[in-house]
Amino acid sequence: MSRLEGRLGELLQGNVVSSRGSERTGDPFTSNLTPQDTAPPRRTQASRGQSPRQDTQTQPGHTQTYYQHQPQANIQPQPYSQPQPQPQPKPQPQPQPKPQPHSQPKHTKDRRMRTRLQPPPPHPTQPPSQSQEERKRLGERGQESPRPGRPQHGPKPQSVEETREEGEMERRRGDEVWRKSEVKRTERRRGEEERTERREGEEEEEEMKGEESQIQNLLQLPVRHKIPLQHIPRREATICNVDSMLLFPSASSENYVTFSRSFPALPELSVCLWIRVDVGYVGTLLSYATEDNDNKLVLYGRNSSSSSYSSSTPSRATLDFVVGDPAYRELPVDSVLDGSWHHLCVLWSSIQGRFWHYTDRRLTSAGSRFRKGYEVPGGGLVVLGAEQDSQGGGFDPTEGFVGRLAGFTVWNRVLSPGEVTGVAMGRGVPRGVVLELGDVDGVHGEVQQVACECLEHCS
């Protein structure tokens, strides 16, 4: 290297000396060669990517020009001409060091040396080498250092902070999904509770309607005849066609019940009812009177022990069935004096002239040639619990009924045995009804009307 630098310096010094000799002798410089043609090229700023320049140093009496290396493609042969003297600017007060004509600037030589001594740039496909400290740091983070000579592909390894942030985001998304599912589950449970409450409310309304229907007949009664409806545990009921019950607490001329309707003309009829007798006799159950006759249709009973006449032979308990006074038939009622509920049915037909008497679904008595062709007239007054000696009056306490009466119904035809059994068992009410307890409009004396659809609930 030192030998090459020395050779370059000799060549440059020879060019300068020949140039000075030409100036002194006054021979024109006719050669077309430039200093680059006679001397080997030097690495200057133009070779490192800088634009070429001319360094001109002026001394008194002549001008010396240094040409720096240019690429061969940009070199043009120029004729040498004697420089003309030009006006020099006023020198600065600061003295400048005298340049050395045969030596290169120091900074140019140092730059050339650094340029030659620098290592070549790395190949584009070759990754930069890693120091031991970097490899150790990557090992502590759990990351593998890239192998030299192999390009790295795939995503960039994540740091601990990025991994923690992604975990937090995943946890938040999971919490959000859980909250949404909880909201849906709560709404579904609330909907089921609302449906259950609505269903229970509808059931309560139906129960209230049933209770209202039971006491609707009491709304027209005087206050002293109404019994407050008390909620008591209901027993299982099967006979649920009685509508209501009438309570006759004692034998009195003031205790009786009247109706808002009357009978039509009846060539045949059926009368059924439930009774519970509280004394040793059956009083008058039904009394139908018109203006011309007070005994058109009667189910008559009395307390024989209180009568003005007595018999030496004991009398049995009977009920007189009167159709158009003075004709009647005696019906035996001994079996109903035990203080329990019993079902009675009395049927009559003028077409056949016959009657039938049922006690608790069994035929107790029957007869023929009884008021054949007769018709009970309509438009009279119907009374329960007392016997009329005149239309709407003339009541005798000894003939009054004492006990409970329920399910009173009158039909305009003769019921069949099967229909009688069905009524006694609570299987509904057959067709042809002309009067029932729902038609009651007057409860007199101490009589009380209690709403109870089922006989088991009538106490």
pLDDT in tens, 421-433: 999 999 999 999 9
- The residue among 452, 459, 48 whose CA lies nearest residue 241 is 452
Assigned domain for 290 exists:
yes
Assigned domain for 372 exists:
yes
pLDDT in tens, 432-451: 999 999 999 999 999 999 99
- The residue among 294, 304, 297, 311 whose CA lies nearest residue 333 is 304
Tell me the pLDDT band of 62, cut-offs 50, 70 and 90: very low
pLDDT in tens, 90-136: 555 555 555 454 444 444 455 555 545 455 555 444 454 555 666 66
Assigned domain for 442 exists:
yes
Assigned domain for 282 exists:
yes
Residue 82 to residues 25, 39, 61, 79, Cα–Cα distance (Å): 13, 22, 12, 10
Collapsing DSSP to helix, strand or coil, 421 comes out as helix
DSSP per-residue letters across 124-142? TTSPPPPPHHHHHHHHHTT
Please state the rounded mean pLDDT for residues 146-164. 62
CATH number, domain with residue 393: 2.60.120.200
Residue 298 to residues 38, 361, 443, Cα–Cα distance (Å): 168, 22, 19
Please state the rounded mean pLDDT for residues 369-393. 95
Domain that holds residue 1: 1-25+33-70
Tell me the pLDDT band of 334, cut-offs 50, 70 and 90: very high
Residues 6+ apart with CB under 8 A from 295: 287, 289, 322, 324, 325, 326
CA separation for the pair 384, 449 (Å, rounded)? 12
Assigned domain for 233 exists:
no
Please state the rounded mean pLDDT for residues 315-337. 91
Half-sphere exposure of 370 (CA within 13 A, CB side): 18
Assigned domain for 203 exists:
no
Q: Are 253 and 394 within 8 A, CB to CB?
A: no
Helix (H) or strand (E) holding 65: strand 62-67
Looking at residue 347, what is its pLDDT?
A: 98
DSSP per-residue letters across 216-250? GGGTTS-GGGPPPP---PPPP-------EEEEE-S
Assigned domain for 88 exists:
no
Domain count, the chain: 2
Assigned domain for 164 exists:
no
pLDDT in tens, 210-219: 777 766 655 5
